[in-house]
Amino acid sequence: MGKFLNILLQIKFEYPYLLLLILIFLFCSKFCPIRVQSIIFPHLSILKVNIKNSSLISILKWMTIIFMFVALASPVIEDKIISNKKDGYNIVLTLDTSGSMREIGFDRTNRGLDKFSVVKNIVKEFIDKRIADNISFIVFGDFSYVATPLTFDKDILKDILSRLYIGIAGERTAIYDSIAQSVNILSKNKAKSKIIILLTDGINTAGKIPKTVAINLAKKHNIKVYTIGIGRDFDKRALMQIASDTKGLFFHAKNSEMLKNIYGEIDKLEKSEIKSNKFIKKEYFFIYPLFVAIISLLFYIFIRNKRGL
């Protein structure tokens, strides 16, 4: 009983103004009586009048009217507004998948792995820590493409990361095209903090977009570019310029331990709030008053027909 009362107290109406129509029926029942032909009996007391049935018909009629409009008013219980707010920032992880990433022996602890395998392991750890961040993958070789759009789903990110391989975008290195592609993704998002983390071990040898254009695109949309050069043969001057001009930072990772530390530093970046979808969970109860109204109407019709009215 207590649970039932608790439910009743939570019920609201989506269209409460429809309940006012009941007042029109009440008004008409009193001031707009139905005019029908009648026979006047001078001695009415000699007839047996079934008052009980008359009262029952009236009750059933009003039950039908009232519960019909209660159903139309749509009784509903609404849960609290659920807002999935993420206290994080938008990051595009831009990864070099060119042929030079096949080099084995990036450092002593991972002698049997190529550079890209080492990078994937460290990036995976980075993703696991970034619970509140909206992350995307861009990979580049001869060209760049979006491996995943911005998403909070870390399982999808890690699954896609495991499927990436060296040469998936070609053997050469289109660094500046990858920056432009990353800017294109972030520019469509309203988050305040937008960051590109660019990792490469080479020199720009492919692509159609000049370095200055890529930098200006990032600056136009207030996007910081953090550049990471791994190994020894990357274009240090270009990576430093990209980071400096976009108010980011340049890092040089000589081994996997340094690369872990670099992602640790990036982990301390300023965070901004990103709002995801808001919704209200509703549970509708119109079926119950509608059922009562239909049953009342059926009994009303049955009793009237039985009495020959």
Q: What is the pLDDT of residues 159-173, one digit of tens each?
A: 999 999 999 999 999
Question: pLDDT averaged over the chain?
Answer: 85
Residue 121 is encoded by which pair of tokens?
């392991």
Both 149 and 62 in one domain: the answer is no
Lowest mean pLDDT segment, chosen from 30-34, 119-123, 259-263, 272-276: 272-276
**pLDDT (tens digit, 9 = 90+) per residue, 92-111?**
999 999 999 998 877 777 67
CATH of the domain at 133: 3.40.50.410
φ/ψ of 249, rounded to 5, equals -135, 150
Which residue is listed with tokens 């992880």?
Answer: 93
Residue 214 is encoded by which pair of tokens?
């890529």
- 37 assigned to some structural domain: no
- d(CA 104, CA 266) in angstroms, rounded, equals 26
φ/ψ of 194, rounded to 5, equals -125, 125
Most confident stretch, 84-93, 250-259, 260-269: 250-259
User: Checking DSSP bridges between strand 75-78 and strand 282-284, what pairing results, if any?
Assistant: antiparallel
Question: Which pLDDT score, from 0 to 100, does residue 32 have?
Answer: 75
Using a pLDDT cut of 90, give the percent of the chain over it: 51
Both 234 and 95 in one domain: the answer is yes
Both 240 and 225 in one domain: the answer is yes
Question: Which pLDDT score, from 0 to 100, does residue 300 have?
Answer: 87
Reply yes or no on whether the pLDDT at 178 is more than 90.
yes
User: Checking DSSP bridges between strand 134-140 and strand 90-96, what pairing results, if any?
Assistant: parallel
Both 176 and 198 in one domain: the answer is yes
- 236 assigned to some structural domain: yes
- 299 assigned to some structural domain: yes
- 42 assigned to some structural domain: no
Between 104 and 200, the higher pLDDT residue: 200
Question: Which pLDDT score, from 0 to 100, does residue 39 have?
Answer: 56
- 44 assigned to some structural domain: no
- 40 assigned to some structural domain: no
| Average pLDDT of span 241-252 | 96
Q: Which helix (H) or strand (E) holds 42?
A: none
Which residue is listed with tokens 């009303």?
Answer: 300
3-state secondary structure of 121: helix
**pLDDT (tens digit, 9 = 90+) per residue, 111-155?**
778 999 999 999 999 998 888 788 999 999 999 999 999 998 999
3-state secondary structure of 18: helix
What angle, rounded to 10 degrees, do the helices at 211-220 and 175-187 form? 20
Between 155 and 1, the higher pLDDT residue: 155
Show the domain range for 141: 84-276
Distance in Å from the first CA to the final CA of the chain? 40
| Average pLDDT of span 75-100 | 80
In which band, very low, low, confident or very high, does the pLDDT at 284 lie, cut at 50, 70 and 90? confident
Both 284 and 206 in one domain: the answer is no
Both 207 and 270 in one domain: the answer is yes
In which band, very low, low, confident or very high, does the pLDDT at 37 lie, cut at 50, 70 and 90? low
In which band, very low, low, confident or very high, does the pLDDT at 27 lie, cut at 50, 70 and 90? confident
Total number of domains in the chain: 2
Both 75 and 100 in one domain: the answer is no
- 298 assigned to some structural domain: yes
Both 64 and 146 in one domain: the answer is no
**pLDDT (tens digit, 9 = 90+) per residue, 47-58?**
454 545 568 888
Both 110 and 54 in one domain: the answer is no
| Average pLDDT of span 264-293 | 77
| Average pLDDT of span 287-298 | 92
- 74 assigned to some structural domain: yes
- d(CA 235, CA 218) in angstroms, rounded, equals 19
| Average pLDDT of span 191-218 | 93
Q: How many residues does the chain have?
A: 309
Question: Which pLDDT score, from 0 to 100, does residue 81 have?
Answer: 60
Both 146 and 175 in one domain: the answer is yes
Residue 228, beta-bridge partner list: 199, 251
268 φ/ψ sector (left φ>0, alpha ψ -120 to 50, else beta): alpha
Both 107 and 242 in one domain: the answer is yes
Rounded CA Rg of the chain: 36
- d(CA 142, CA 172) in angstroms, rounded, equals 5
Both 247 and 297 in one domain: the answer is no
